[in-house]
Structure 1
Amino acid sequence: MAPPRNRRPGFSRKAQYSLFATYVLAIAGAIVAGILLLISIADPKGFSALRAGAAEVTSPIARGFQAVRRSFAGMGENMSAYLDAASQNAALKKQVSANRTKLIEADALRAENLKLKALIGLQEANPGETVAIGNLISSTASSTRRLAILSVGSNQGVAVGFPIRAPKGLIGRVIETSPNTSKVLLISDAENVIPVLRMPDGLPALSSGMGDGTVAIRPVDLGVNNFRRGQIVTTSGSGGLYPPNIPVAVIVRRTSDGALARPLASPAGNNHVIVLRPYHEAPRKLLEAAEAAIPKGQGAE
């Protein structure tokens, strides 16, 4: 069966109205274009005025579109700037961290240089008394004995009985030597008794280790017990082993028979030390003889 000649676009009334509106707009546009063409030919000045009026009418719309376009462009620029700032911020944080590490290293080197300068100053102040300069390799912390290992020994002239001191004060004395190392009895050991003087009045006393990192200060005159916190005790030179005027400890608190004090020079904070000759030679020889008389295996562990 042949299709009818007059085919309708569809049974939808909406589609029919849309098609009709399209035709009307096309015809109206053609008519307006024709009228404008005739005006431009017949009256160019009037057409120019008409075109200017149209521009005035459409300029707000154009400005609106321009603002929207600039807004989108600005959003892109702002996003790019934000990403650049984030990357720069991360780079600056890395730089600050690296600089902080360098500052810490510089502070550590500065502190080490100050210790070495103080040690050199001690050596220059005691030119004939300094035997060697060494490092404390290790020290006991949990044992009942308070011992340390020194990095110099008999090959460097170190012998039993030689005092060991740091810039801040007395460390102890040598009790055993090998060719390149020495064993040091720290002043905090219970078997290390040192004649001391309280500053500034010179009250004589004895310092003995407590075995826990502190020392007990007991006056020679038991009737005198007026120690105060913060007072300093130094070596007296009595006994001839330790040279006088070496700082030993600072008083922490008074006890029933004297005072409890903290050593001024700790092995943990003084890696570099100097080895001194005994104040007098005779006590060192007596000490060596006493050490030699001790049977093997019963000496300081």
Structure 2
Amino acid sequence: MAPPRNRRPGFSRRAQYGLFIGYVGAIGGALIGAGLLLLSTFNPSAFSTVRGAISEITTPIASSLAWVRRSVSGVPEGIGSYFAVRGENARLKKQVADDARVVTRARTLDQENRRLRALLQLREVAPERVVIARLVNSSSSSTRRYATLNAGAWQGVQRGQPVREAAGLIGQVVETSPNTARVLLIVDAESIVPVRRTSDGLPAIASGRGDGLIDIRSASVAAQGFKPGDSFVTSGTGGIFSPDIPVARVVRTTGDVAIAVPSANPDALDFALVQRAFLPDPVTAPSPSPAPGAPAAAP
């Protein structure tokens, strides 16, 4: 069926107004274009002025529309960049944590390597060595201070032998079993070590306090004062500890008693060197047996 020839919009006011405005806009645009064409032909300078004024009006609008277009088009890229940066950040954080663990492990190994090197050097110059053993544990939270070695009688460890490391004296073996030994630390309240001051050889007694520190008392009849910084080493008196093993350093004084820190901290050690006693127990000579045929002594 052919469309009706009457194209009037009917009784719709909105359609009629829309059609009217469209016609007016078309006619107005044609007139403006014709006027601009005539102006550019007969008066180019005036046309340039009009064109500049139109550019001043349209340029901000065009710039705003271009910014909106770039912003909208950049949204997907920004979202992708956000997730990419977030993933990269998580990867870098994990890498930093892994590197921190590696660095911590390397520092621990370096410290252990230094201690072992020092013990090896000490072993070369200490002919009275028995064995190098690991300090399994130490009772740092108790007033009685003991440590356990993972070497015992089967490795030659005996009761009374001194235990030390490169930095100084640790203690003395008090109990042994086939593969373990118990060590009385020099910071224990029952520990007593004869020492001497390195500066002048003043004899003194180092006794533990049970709190990780050591009391130093003069063994000389004449009163001798101590001062912070005084260092003490074993004197060899008593025949247990060999001379010149570092024991403690004074940090403060209280009257005739000096309070010192031990040269070797057993809580921070992994290995220790067990030495033989400085003066071994004397061997009792056997009594001579009577010669055969000799007359018995008269009662």
CA displacement, residues 243-290 of structure 1 (integer Å, 9 cap, x when unaligned): 00000111121122231112111210112001000001027x89xxxx
Identity of aligned residues (%): 43
Structure 1 residue 129 and structure 2 residue 128: aligned? yes
Query: Partner residue of 1:219?
Result: 218
Residues in 1 aligned to 2:267 and 2:9: alpha-carbon distance in whole angstroms: 107
Deviates more, 1:256-265 or 1:226-235: 256-265
Please give the residue correspondences for 1:71-110 in structure 2 after superposition, counting only pairs within 5 Å.
71-74=71-74, 76-110=76-110
- Higher mean alpha-carbon deviation, 93-102 vs 175-184, is at 93-102
Change (3 A) 1:242 1:67: closer
Structure 1 residue matching 2:281: 3-state secondary structure: helix
Residues 1:181 and 2:175 aligned together: no
Q: How does 1:10-29 map to 2 (within 5 A)?
A: 10=12, 13-22=13-22
Q: Structure 1 counterpart of 2:162, which letter?
A: P
Give the Cα–Cα distance (whole angstroms) in 2 for the partners of residues 216 and 7 of structure 1. Answer: 115
Task: State the match for 1:268 in structure 2.
Answer: 267
Q: Distance in 1 between matches of 2:103 and 2:239?
A: 46
Specify the alignment match of 1:277 in structure 2. 276
The CA deviation string for residues 10-50 of structure 1, in whole angstroms up to 9 with x for no partner, is: 4xx44532244346667x59x97xxx9xxxxxxxxx9xxxx
- Superposed, 1:187-266 pairs within 5 Å as 187-266=186-265
Q: What SS does structure 2 have at the residue aligned with 1:281?
A: coil
Partner of 1:297: none
Residues in 2 aligned to 1:110 and 1:7: alpha-carbon distance in whole angstroms: 95
Question: Any stretches of 5+ residues in structure 1 without a counterpart?
Answer: 37-45, 47-52, 287-301
Q: Which structure shows the higher helix fraction?
A: 1
For 1:9, give the aligned amino acid.
F
User: How do 1:17-96 and structure 2 match up within 5 A?
Assistant: 17-22=17-22, 64=63, 68-74=68-74, 76-96=76-96
Report how far residue 195 of structure 1 moved: 0.9
The answer to whether the 8 A contact 1:145-1:211 is kept is: yes
CA positional deviation for 1:90: 2.8
Structure 1 residue 9 corresponds to structure 2 residue 11: yes
Q: Is the 8 A contact 2:162 2:171 kept in 1?
A: yes
Partner amino acid for 1:276?
Answer: Q
Code of the residue aligned with 1:146 in structure 2: it is: R
Cα separation, 2, equivalents of 1:243 and 1:108: 31
Q: Is 1:111 aligned to residue 111 of structure 2?
A: yes
- Which amino acid counterpart does residue 256 of structure 1 have in structure 2? G
Q: Which residue of 1 aligns with 2:291?
A: none
Q: Which amino acid aligns with 2:175?
A: E
**Secondary structure in structure 2 of the residue aligned to 1:88:** helix
Question: 2:268 is aligned with what amino acid?
Answer: G
Go from structure 1 to structure 2 and tell me whether the alpha carbon gap of 1:63 and 1:141 turns closer, same or farther (over 3 Å shift).
closer
Aligned partners of 2:223 and 2:198: how far apart in 1? 15
Task: Report the AA paired with residue 139 of structure 1.
Answer: S
**Normalized against structure 2, the TM-score is what?**
0.74
Post-superposition shift, 1:180? 0.3
Task: Write the distance in 1 (CA, Å) between the matches of 2:264 and 2:153.
Answer: 24
- The alignment partner of 1:282 has SS state of coil
Q: CA deviation at 1:183?
A: 1.0
- Output the CA distance in 1 between the equivalents of 2:131 and 2:212: 26
Task: Summarize the Cα distance change of 1:109–1:142 in structure 2 as closer, same or farther, 3 Å threshold.
Answer: closer
Q: Which amino acid aligns with 1:223?
A: A
Normalising to structure 1: TM-score of the pair?
A: 0.74
8 Å Cα contact 1:140-1:146 kept in structure 2: yes
Deviation at 1:154, TM superposition (A): 0.2
Residue of structure 2 equivalent to 1:171: 170
State the shift of 1:170 in Å. Answer: 0.5
Partners of 1:175 and 1:183 lie apart in 2 by 6
